[in-house]
């Protein structure tokens, strides 16, 4: 048994899951095994969507594997990164007894999935030092060990901090917790970062899982396609815990088109434009009245502290600009998160904020 499988819930290690009609690898030209309609819907004249889709289409997995530079067997496609988070909690945490470690301020879905599953949420808060927020990896490891946590969720670049985590520290944590926890690195914003991906660590650390998404850099948030990438044995467990038909056929088609070589070239151009605008917006915001601090960011957003965040939020809304209010998160009582938009949209942000009194 692979060592990482020892971290999976004992009752799920040999769990076969539901075997749908599309799971069976059989051949034929008259398909009557899934109780699908024999006739196409009138609005789907070609019958493109009459049949259930393949749960994990090989062409899609191969395309995503090529995109991220990994083997297809390491890839599980799902309904956004959210499904990857949920599947990991479901597969590794015994309901009512398991625990996860998170590093607030961070993405809220880690705690939501854990609480819906009855798992404890253990916090090892980020520490604000120097230019931004940093992860206390020693504290994370100690809390994971003390609480017998099966999962550690790290967000890099962080949401909402925008800070990337050092790969050597991630690797050391995965090594220390090899028999204790699966370390999950959520790289939803990695395309906007200048630092290497944690995917480069997978060969050495079987208890490491990386989450990626096409929602941000690839502009496919509405398609809801995310990827969990990790040890083949663990990915197979997650696959057996997944819903029978997780990927709608139109979404599969959209991803295949969006990851074509020519489209990817345009995507890279869009990412470069966003990074340039991020720099411009950060410099301009730092000089805006009422702005206390703009944090460095490796993502497609900026975390900004204000002298009066309530006034800033209201002023932006009055100008028709909607940003994310972060004041409910610990240590961010004066902060807003501003997504980097187009040049014209960013100009509207700056124009509105010049009216916020210092």
Q: What pTM, to 2 d.p., does this model score?
A: 0.95
Domain boundary among 233, 259, 285: 259
Do 171 and 212 share a structural domain? yes
* Within-domain flag for 297: yes
Q: Which residues pair with 101 in a beta bridge?
A: 122, 152
Do 250 and 273 share a structural domain? no
Count of domains forming the chain: 2
Do 139 and 77 share a structural domain? yes
Do 174 and 42 share a structural domain? yes
Burial of 161 (0-12, 13-18, 19+ CB in 10 A): buried
Do 304 and 238 share a structural domain? no
Q: Mean of the pLDDT values across residues 101-118?
A: 97
pLDDT digits (tens, 9 = 90+) for 8-21: 999 999 998 888 87
Res 302 pLDDT > 90: yes
pLDDT digits (tens, 9 = 90+) for 110-154: 999 999 999 999 999 999 988 899 999 999 999 999 999 999 999
Do 250 and 271 share a structural domain? no
Do 308 and 238 share a structural domain? no
Identify the domain containing residue 284 by its residue range.
Answer: 263-353
**Predicted confidence band at 26 (pLDDT cuts at 50, 70, 90)?**
confident
Residue 297 belongs to domain with CATH number:
3.90.1150.10
Domain boundary among 259, 280, 310: 259
The kind and range of the H/E element at 117 are: helix 109-117
Q: Percentage of residues in the chain with pLDDT exceeding 70? A: 99
| Residue entry with tokens 């295949």 | 256
**Predicted confidence band at 32 (pLDDT cuts at 50, 70, 90)?**
confident
Record the tokens describing residue 71, joined without a space.
């083997």
Res 357 pLDDT > 50: no
Residue 181 belongs to domain with CATH number:
3.40.640.10
Do 39 and 186 share a structural domain? yes
Do 275 and 239 share a structural domain? no
Q: In what order do the strands lie in the sheet with 75-78?
A: 75-78, 226-229, 208-213, 182-186, 151-155, 99-102, 120-123
Do 155 and 76 share a structural domain? yes
- pLDDT computed for residue 2 by the predictor: 58
Do 306 and 222 share a structural domain? no
Q: Mean of the pLDDT values across residues 194-198?
A: 97
Domain boundary among 214, 241, 259: 259
pLDDT digits (tens, 9 = 90+) for 317-328: 999 999 999 999
Q: What is the dihedral of CA 265, 198, 204, 13, to 10 degrees?
A: -100
* Within-domain flag for 358: no
Res 350 pLDDT > 60: yes
d(CA 81, CA 291): 32
Which residue, 338, 210, 192, is CA-closest to 267?
A: 192
């Amino acid at each position: 048994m692979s060592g990482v499988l020892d971290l999976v819930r004992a009752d799920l290690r040999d769990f076969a899951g539901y075997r749908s009609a599309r799971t069976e690898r059989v051949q034929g030209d008259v398909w009557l095994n899934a109780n699908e309609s024999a006739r196409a819907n009138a609005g789907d004249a070609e019958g493109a969507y009459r049949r259930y889709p393949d749960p994990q289409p090989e062409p899609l997995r191969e395309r995503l594997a090529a995109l991220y530079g990994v083997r297809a067997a390491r890839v599980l496609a799902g309904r956004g990164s959210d499904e990857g988070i949920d599947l990991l909690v479901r597969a590794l945490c015994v309901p009512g007894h398991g625990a996860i470690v998170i590093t607030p301020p961070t993405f809220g879905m880690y705690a939501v999935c854990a609480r819906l599953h009855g798992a404890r949420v253990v916090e090892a808060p980020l520490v604000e030092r120097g230019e931004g927020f940093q992860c206390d990896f020693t504290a994370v490891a100690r809390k994971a060990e003390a609480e017998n946590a099966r999962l550690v969720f790290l967000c890099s670049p962080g949401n909402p901090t925008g800070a990337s985590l050092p790969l050597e520290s991630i690797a050391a944590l995965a090594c220390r917790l090899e028999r204790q926890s699966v370390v999950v690195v959520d790289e939803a914003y990695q395309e906007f970062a200048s630092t290497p991906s944690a995917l480069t660590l997978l060969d050495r650390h079987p208890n490491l899982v990386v989450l990626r998404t096409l929602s941000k850099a690839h502009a496919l948030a509405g398609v809801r396609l995310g990827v969990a990438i990790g040890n083949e044995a663990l990915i197979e467990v997650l696959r057996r815990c997944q819903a029978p038909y997780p990927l709608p056929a139109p979404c599969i088609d959209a991803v295949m088109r969006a990851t074509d070589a020519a489209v990817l070239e345009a995507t890279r151009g869009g990412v470069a434009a966003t990074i340039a605008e991020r720099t411009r917006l950060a410099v301009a915001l730092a000089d805006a009245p009422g702005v206390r601090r703009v944090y460095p960011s490796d993502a497609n957003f900026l975390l900004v502290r204000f002298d009066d965040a309530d006034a800033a939020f209201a002023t932006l809304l009055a100008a028709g600009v909607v940003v994310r209010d972060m004041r409910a998160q610990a240590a961010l009582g004066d902060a807003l998160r501003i997504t980097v938009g187009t040049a014209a949209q960013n100009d509207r942000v700056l124009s509105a904020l010049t009216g916020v009194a210092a």
